[in-house]
Amino acid sequence: MDKPFRVLIVDDDVNMMRTLADILAASGYIAETTSSALDGLGKLEANPFHCVVTDIRMQGMNGVEFQQVIKDKYGPIPVILITAYADHDLIVRGREQGALAFLEKPLNIPLLLSILRAIAT
Amino acid sequence: MDTFNTLTISLTILAAVRLIGALVFLDLFLQKRERKYILLCAGWLTLMAGSAWGLSTHLVRGEMENYWFSLLAGFGTYLVGCGALLYFNAIKYRTIFIGAGLIIAYGTLPLILPNLEIGVSPGVIVQALIALLVTFITLFKRKVFWGFARSSYLWLVALAVLADAQTLAFILGIFGPSNLGLGFCGTAITQFVAIVFFLHLEHSISTRQIRESESRYRTLSKHLEERVAERTLELHEAQEKLVRQEKLAVLGQLSGSVGHELRNPLGVMANAVYFLKLIQPDANEKVNEYLAILEAEIHTSDKIITDLLEFSRTKSADREPTPARELIKRVLERYPAPEGVTVSLKVPASLPPLFVDPGHIEQVFGNLVVNACQAMPAGGRLSLSARRQKDMLAIAVSDTGTGISPENMARLFEPLFTTKTKGTGLGLAVCRRLVEANDGRIEARSELDKGTTFTVTLPIEELARG
């Protein structure tokens, strides 16, 4: 990676958000975290990101709505959706909106890292 | 004087017998409230009135007044005859009135015609004709005696012959005015016998009716008992099914929500382990070992949760023609038998293809094969065989393992029931759900220390498509 690859992690489970950020940081990414979609939009406003990893089920705006807003406002930023639930309708909607990937929790970290690597190169 | 005494006595006896007849039928009428009894009662009363009239005229005038005596005797006999015919269902009510017209016509005859030379009025002739008619009709309509003892039938014939013989004797002049008393005694006896016979008949009819209704009641109650038992079983089964479904539904909801909720903390744990491994590539052996243990246990927990979620998911079968042999072969490739277990496969390629969701059915057989292998820790023989069973295919998975005890057999397909030290108890419950979602059924037979056979019966393509 020539320039720092910035990933925004959005999850209302603080420990999930933290551990994921630490893994990404340890793997050479710049990971920023936030626990709500609204805060996430603030971060996106402040700084550009190469990729967004967001939980689907969250208080307030859910991950798929968040994905829609990102698409409308910032264009084609790759979004990876993660969830612990069988939110079939939301997953289908996310896919239709062009989500790059959908991962179930517990996350397959090697798979996530390989996806990120693929975006970065 | 002899004649006087004989006549007095015979007429008294005759009147008494007829009174008995009237009372017998009055009693029957009061018990049963049927019109035919009142007709019979009226007949006997009329007969009694005739003999009483004869007796009183004889006592008062010294000479029996013949006209009213005979007319009442004729009319009484007519009523008794009609009652008897109604009793045997040989005539209809309206027929009685036609006959009544004839009686009145006959009754007026003595007023027009001179008294017959034989000393008998037309009333007696009417009596004889009616007795003959009753006998003739009852004989003709023999079916009214069906079901009675043959002796009853013979009794009636004998009675009719007797009654007619007596009347005939009058008509032929064997009993003339000189020995009228003897004739009346004969009449009294035959009529008494008639009443006794009738009571006997009535008794045998009611006994027969009671026996018939008893047997009908027995048949009905047996039938009813059977129906009740049948319905109770159906209800019981329906209730069991409902309870099972209810349990499954609750369990499904519970396991669904718990499973999903657990995936979050499990995900965090997995991340944490991954991170620790990532930042400590040179950690000492113990740390690495314990991280590996954590990782393995997280993986096992995730597997249990996946089973739970699998169970809670609503199954709808996406059915397609699926050759049984290929399906079983795929299962054996995916879940190879451990060392020491020999596999025998008897699923002919010539069998018609199944019409099932291949994913579902592979999961079912995968589960059964894994279970079978686990039941043979010391090795054994795993047999898979299929045969056609009408419009279905029965595929059996047998092992030569430890077997299942009868008390465990009953609970085999219950969710959360397990004999394994490690297991969710959902495998067979999921199997049954999947098989049923494909319009099939699953059964198990087992013998302790000999082995277990699971038979999955599934629809075949051609018939499922109709």
- Is residue A44 one of the residues assigned to a domain? yes
ipTM for the complex shown: 0.90
Q: Give the DSSP per-residue string, B354-404.
A: EEE-HHHHHHHHHHHHHHHHHT-TT-EEEEEEEEEETTEEEEEEE--SS--
pLDDT of A88: 81
CA distance B446 to B30: 71
pLDDT of B190: 75
Q: Minimal Cα distance from B281: which residue of A?
A: A26
- Statement: the pTM of the whole predicted model exceeds 0.90: no
Q: What is the mean pLDDT of residues A53-78?
A: 92
Helix ranges, B33-65 (H):
35-61
CATH code of residue A115: 3.40.50.2300
- Is residue A64 one of the residues assigned to a domain? yes
Residue type, B411: R
Number of domains in chain A: 1
pLDDT of B145: 47
pLDDT of B171: 59
> Mean pLDDT in runs of 10 for chain B (466 residues)?
69 90 91 85 90 88 75 76 71 63 57 52 61 62 50 58 58 62 76 77 78 90 92 89 78 80 92 94 91 91 81 76 92 90 91 90 92 89 91 92 86 76 76 88 90 93 58
- Is residue A55 one of the residues assigned to a domain? yes
pLDDT of B121: 56
Q: B285-312 and B427-437 are packed helices; what angle lies between their axes, rounded to 10 degrees?
A: 40
Q: Minimal Cα distance from A55: which residue of B?
A: B264
**Closest CA of chain B from A99, distance in Å:** 21
**Closest CA of chain A from B367, distance in Å:** 24
Under an 8 A CB cutoff, do B267 and A26 touch? no
pLDDT of B232: 93
Residue A36 · residue A58 · CB < 8 Å:
yes
- Is residue A74 one of the residues assigned to a domain? yes
Under an 8 A CB cutoff, do A105 and B263 touch? yes
Q: Minimal Cα distance from A87: which residue of B?
A: B260
Q: Is B375 left (phi over 0), alpha (psi -120 to 50) or beta?
A: alpha
Looking at per-residue confidence, does A35 or B96 come out higher?
A: A35
Nearest alpha-carbon partner for B140 in B91, B198, B200, B87: B91
Q: Which member of A13, A16, A84 has the closest CB to residue B260? A: A84
pLDDT of A44: 94
Q: Look up residue B82 and give its two tokens.
A: 């009609």
Please report residues of A whose CB lies closer than 8 A to that of B263: 84-85, 104-106
Q: Which member of A23, A86, A104 has the closest CB to residue B271? A: A23
Peptide bond into A106 cis (omega under 30): yes
Residues pairing with A8 in the sheet: A32, A52
Please report the domains of chain B, with CATH numbers, ordered by start residue: 2-221 (1.20.1070), 234-312 (1.10.287), 320-464 (3.30.565.10)
Please report residues of A whose CB lies closer than 8 A to that of B260: 84-86
How many cross-chain Cβ pairs, A to B, lie less than 8 Å apart? 54
Under an 8 A CB cutoff, do A27 and B278 touch? yes
- Is residue A1 one of the residues assigned to a domain? no
Q: Minimal Cα distance from A83: which residue of B?
A: B264
Under an 8 A CB cutoff, do A84 and B263 touch? yes
pLDDT of B144: 46
Under an 8 A CB cutoff, do B270 and A106 touch? yes
Range(s) of the domain holding residue A17: 6-120
**Closest CA of chain B from A53, distance in Å:** 15
- Is residue A108 one of the residues assigned to a domain? yes
Q: Which of B271, B279, B314 to mutate to test the interface with A (most CBs of A within 10 A)?
A: B271
pLDDT of A14: 93
Cα B378 to Cα B332, B336, B371, distances in angstroms: 19, 16, 14
pLDDT of B241: 77
pLDDT of B147: 47
